[in-house]
Amino acid sequence: MKILTTNFLKCAVKACDKSNDNFPLRYSGSECELVQDPSIEFNEEFMTNIMDRIDWDAVLSVAGDLGNTNLPSTKPLLNTAEQLSEDDLAVLRDLHVLLVQTSIKEGTMTCRNCGHVYYIKNSIPNLLLPPHLA
Amino acid sequence: MKKKYLVYMVQVHSNFRRAELESLADLYQLEIDFSSYRDDSPFFVVELEDDKAASDWIKRSILSRAIYEYWGEGDNLHELHESIRGQPFYEKYKSDNRTKTFKFEFESYRGSSKANRVKQIESFSYVEFQGKIDMKRPQEIFTVIEEYEPISDNLPGTVPIKLFFGRLIQCSDRAAVEKYDLKKRPYKGTTSFEAELSLVSANIAQVKPGSIMYDPFSGTGSFLCSGGHYGALVIGSDIDGRMIRGKGAQHNISTNFEMYGDSARFLNVLTMDFTHNALRRTLVIDTILCDPPYGIREGIKVLGAKNPERFIGKENVEIDGTKAFARRDYIPTKKPYSLDALLDDLLQYASERLPVGGRLAFWMPTANDENIETIVPLHSNLELRYNCVQEFNKWSRRLLVYINRGSEYSGNENIGQKRSQANFRDRYFSHFN
Ligand SMILES: C[S@@+](CC[C@H](N)C(=O)[O-])C[C@H]1O[C@@H](n2cnc3c(N)ncnc32)[C@H](O)[C@@H]1O
């Protein structure tokens, strides 16, 4: 599961929608097996689009879970009107490595509200629920 | 001033062809007058702003072949030449192309000619091209497009009844039909959707580069492939983990994307019940494209117990000190769900998640029984824009395309009502007798 996906996933339990703690899920850093796919090429336009879609606080939270605390504390503002600066490009490249090239192959993610644990198995997150939570 | 162009189209899936051309025109904000468009003709002469507009319009099209700058037309070669020389733009086109390297091509519809093509090319000498002929990388390609009348059903015609001449502006994306052909796809299954109409669906749904496309019932990922091809970041979900996992390390959805060179745009497939959705509510999904379960090769299931009384207290069962439901190998129980309810959920989800103007497109099979009326689901915020039917012998399926118009719009609504008259699955397995 690409790290980018963590930015889109909340808890599947409907009752947790009332809470603000159902997103992002908490990732077990010690148990997560990360893999990298350097063959996925950097694409400036693609990453610029992604920047519009991501929730920066969630990026920080998940990166922190996985032991990465080097990200800027506020979402980098890209100068999209004209050409991106060298600094902007550097940020985008770093994020490309983190969000697109890095995946969680095995691991768990937990809802901060209800505590339900979801597994990521062979890079596929399983969000199915037992009947008492469905 | 607008210029005349000729679109040369394929003569298949004509119920989808106009919807594709209209959707692509709308995607690139092109005003096109469809009043002379005919389902039964492969030709469509239109006026457009410039070559760039023509190229934008047709470059993604699957059901057309190419678009040409229009030079003239006639019922035979002689008339074609007369027509070309009589056009108001003839002198300008002539001088625009005077020094370009070029080549000639011939396209034939429903027949083929034994005429001497070299002689025919020479008959265009009055245009006075002075550039070199370059068969490999010409700057311009001039094309004679001929239409024949077949002699009989399986005997193609030999003498053209109509000819067009034009300068090639843009070939369509028809090559993608070959590229995404299921025969060449490493991972596919019984539910995989054929390449041609998957790509057409993505065009009618207006999947855009840099946008997010979601297939809630992604199965083997056919629509994800089409969405990725058109540059969207694609997300799929399926309640059946086996579908998503594929058949080993070399045959799964991810390896399909690798083969197509679209890996960057493949976000993930999630094992998830669409009706217990885990995509955060604030995520804008630009397009939803899918083929929901109809209970033919797969059941319509959602999470939950069919007999809840049998599951009372089960959440407390422990195995080796861990709650059974919290174990890695736990498989949750599922219960049957109705098609009407699932489609209601899909329309409701689309109305909440799509931006205004965003499209929901999905396939729905129907039996061709005359006594059974097909009731298309409707939601008050969604405009039903297209209902394109593909006919088979005893059944048909249709691509329903909706545009989210937002809460201001109050269209007809029938969600929450029972619509399906007969169970399609039962009808399918009794061979529609
Ligand atoms: C007609 S198939 C779609 C096939 C897909 N287009 C493909 O390319 O293989 C419908 C899919 O919906 C899945 N499905 C059924 N109920 C579901 C649910 N509640 N949530 C998500 N997926 C579901 C089935 O497992 C099946 O794979």
**Mean pLDDT score, B417-429:** 67
Fold of B179-429: Rossmann fold (3.40.50)
Do B267 and A2 make contact, defined as CB atoms within 8 angstroms? yes
Tally of domains in chain A: 1
Among the residue ranges A49-58, A72-81, B230-239, B300-309, the one predicted with the least confidence is A72-81
| Average pLDDT, rounded, for chain B | 94
Alpha helix ranges (H) inside B261-406: 339-353
- For residue B433, pLDDT over 60 is answered with no
Q: How far apart are alpha carbons A5 and B153 in whole angstroms?
A: 53
Ligand 1 centroid distance, CA of A105 (Å): 24
Q: Could B328 and A122 be called an inter-chain contact, meaning their C-beta atoms sit closer than 8 Å? A: no
- Is position A134 within any domain? no
pLDDT at B429: 64
Per the domain annotation, does A60 fall within a domain? yes
Q: What is the CATH number of the domain that holds A25?
A: 2.20.25.10
The arithmetic mean of pLDDT across residues B150-171, rounded, is 94
Topology match between the domains B3-173 and B179-429: no
Do residues B346 and B274 touch, judged by C-beta distance below 8 A?
A: yes
Question: Which CATH number fits the domain B3-173, given the four candidates 3.90.1150.10, 3.40.50.1970, 3.40.50.300, 3.30.2130.30?
Answer: 3.30.2130.30
Structural domain contains residue A111: yes
Q: Which pLDDT score, from 0 to 100, does residue A83 have?
A: 80
Q: Is the CB of B302 under 6 A from ligand 1?
A: yes
Q: Identify the top-confidence range among A70-74, B88-92, B406-410.
A: B88-92
Question: Can you tell me the mean pLDDT for B210-217?
Answer: 96
pLDDT band at B432 (very low <50, low <70, confident <90, very high): low
Domain boundaries, chain B: 3-173, 179-429
pLDDT at position B249: 87
**Average pLDDT value over all residues in chain A:** 93
What's the B219 CA to ligand 1 centre distance in angstroms? 5
Which residues of chain B have a CB within 8 Å of the CB of A132? Answer: 311, 314-315, 325
Measured CA to CA in angstroms, residue A53 lies from A4, A93, B283, B284 at distances of 10, 17, 7, 8
Check if the beta carbon of residue B180 is closer than 8 Å to that of residue B256. no
The lowest-confidence range among B40-44, B138-142, B273-277, B429-433 is: B429-433
For the cut 60, the answer to whether the pLDDT of residue B422 exceeds it is: no
Residues 6+ apart with CB under 8 A from B193: B222, B223, B291, B363
Whether residue B203 is predicted with pLDDT greater than 70 in this model: the reply is yes
Would you state the pLDDT for residue B372?
A: 65
Which residue range forms the structural domain that includes residue A83?
A: 3-126
Please tell me whether the overall predicted TM-score, pTM, comes out greater than 0.90 for this model. yes
Q: Write the pLDDT tens digit of every residue in B287-327.
A: 999 999 987 666 789 999 999 999 999 999 999 999 999 99
- Residue listed under structure tokens 């545009």: B403
DSSP state for residue B192 in the 8-state scheme: P
How many cross-chain Cβ pairs, A to B, lie less than 8 Å apart? 118
Q: Is residue A131 part of a domain?
A: no
**Going by C-beta distance under 8 Å and a sequence separation of 6 or more, which residues neighbour residue A67?**
A29
Q: How large is the average pLDDT for residues B160-176?
A: 98
Question: Is A132 inside any structural domain?
Answer: no
Written as one string, the DSSP assignment of B204-264 is: HTT--TTSEEEETT-TT-HHHHHHHHTT-EEEEEES-HHHHH-SSTTSSHHHHHHHHT-GG
Q: Which two tokens stand for residue B129?
A: 């091209």
| pLDDT of B216 strictly over 80 | yes
B299 or B226, greater pLDDT:
B226
* B328/A53 Cβ within 8 A: no
pLDDT value of position B34: 98
| Any domain includes A41 | yes
What ipTM does the predicted assembly reach? 0.96
Condensed to tens digits (0 to 9), the pLDDT of residues B45-78 reads 999 999 999 999 999 999 999 999 999 999 999 9
